[in-house]
Amino acid sequence: MAQKVEICGVNTSELPVLSNEVMRRLFRRMQAGDTEARQQLVQGNLRLVLSVIQRFNNRGEHVDDLFQVGCIGLMKAIDNFDLGQNVRFSTYAVPMIVGEIRRYLRDNNPIRVSRSLRDVAYKALQVRDTLTHRLGREPTLTEIARELKMPREEVVYALDAIQEPISLFDPIYQDGGDPIYVMDQVSDPDSEDETWLEGIALREAMRKLNEREQRILHLRFYEGKTQMEVADEIGISQAQVSRLEKAALLRMRKFM
């Protein structure tokens, strides 16, 4: 009793485990019309659903709801499983259970997404899986859009729309100590006094330089040009640009 955990009224500690041979016999009986065999297959594979819903523990959904949705995916897998294929039932069923739960989470997302956008996104995901199997690699967004005969931008927009939002308090790293949360990696540079003061100091130091030095630093560090490109634009040698740049930076450090 100490190990008893109930989900949707099911005592998970008492769930049966079926061998591969028993599973095959039950599938043959079910496909011959035996409804009791189907029920035994469902009951004997509920542990698969339990293992899958653990992946979605941090979504804030009630575990009973996820379990029920996962059971729908399990029943779909049982009804569509082909004994003639050389594949274990669990290999076939887990993606279907995961897909059913993901659809449920997307449809119940607090951020509402139009039906047409969701349809485009789901078609894109199906095409991605098809192309992955056909090409033997992950397809590009351009390839997916070409297969759908749609503009790439529309496919990107639809896929972005169904992405699950994350909480600022979701942990992204923990190594035995205090976890690092998403909010720890988010900052607003415009609101930081230190950055603001550094910007003022930088502008004041730039004003201490002569016009040519200012132009060299602007071309080098604001426009990202090479010393050779700066030399061509100003009309001096690359060695002179290098010397003037170093001298200007040294003077700025003194001022700052």
Most confident of 50-64, 94-108, 179-193, 231-245: 231-245
Mean pLDDT value across the chain: 79
pLDDT of residue 249: 87
Beta-strand pair 10-11/6-7: antiparallel
Q: How high is the pLDDT of residue 256?
A: 65
Which range (3-17, 33-47, 57-71) has the least confidence? 3-17
Tell me the mean pLDDT in the region 236-249.
Answer: 88
Mean pLDDT score, 121-143 = 86
For residues 7-13, average pLDDT? 63
pLDDT in the model for residue 206: 83
Judged by average pLDDT, the poorest of 2-11, 79-88, 139-148, 199-208 is 2-11
Percentage of residues in the chain having pLDDT higher than 90: 9
- Residues 105-126: pLDDT tens digits? 777 765 566 677 778 888 888 8
**∠ at Cα 75 (82, 95), nearest 5°?**
70
Mean per-residue pLDDT, 187-216: 70
Going from the N-terminus, what domains does the chain have, and what CATH number goes with each? 1-108 (1.20.120.1810), 111-179 (1.10.10.10), 189-255 (1.20.140.160)
For residue 215, CA distances in Å to 75, 224, 228 come to 70, 12, 14
Q: Any idea which of 33-37, 122-126, 174-178, 246-250 has the lowest mean pLDDT?
A: 174-178
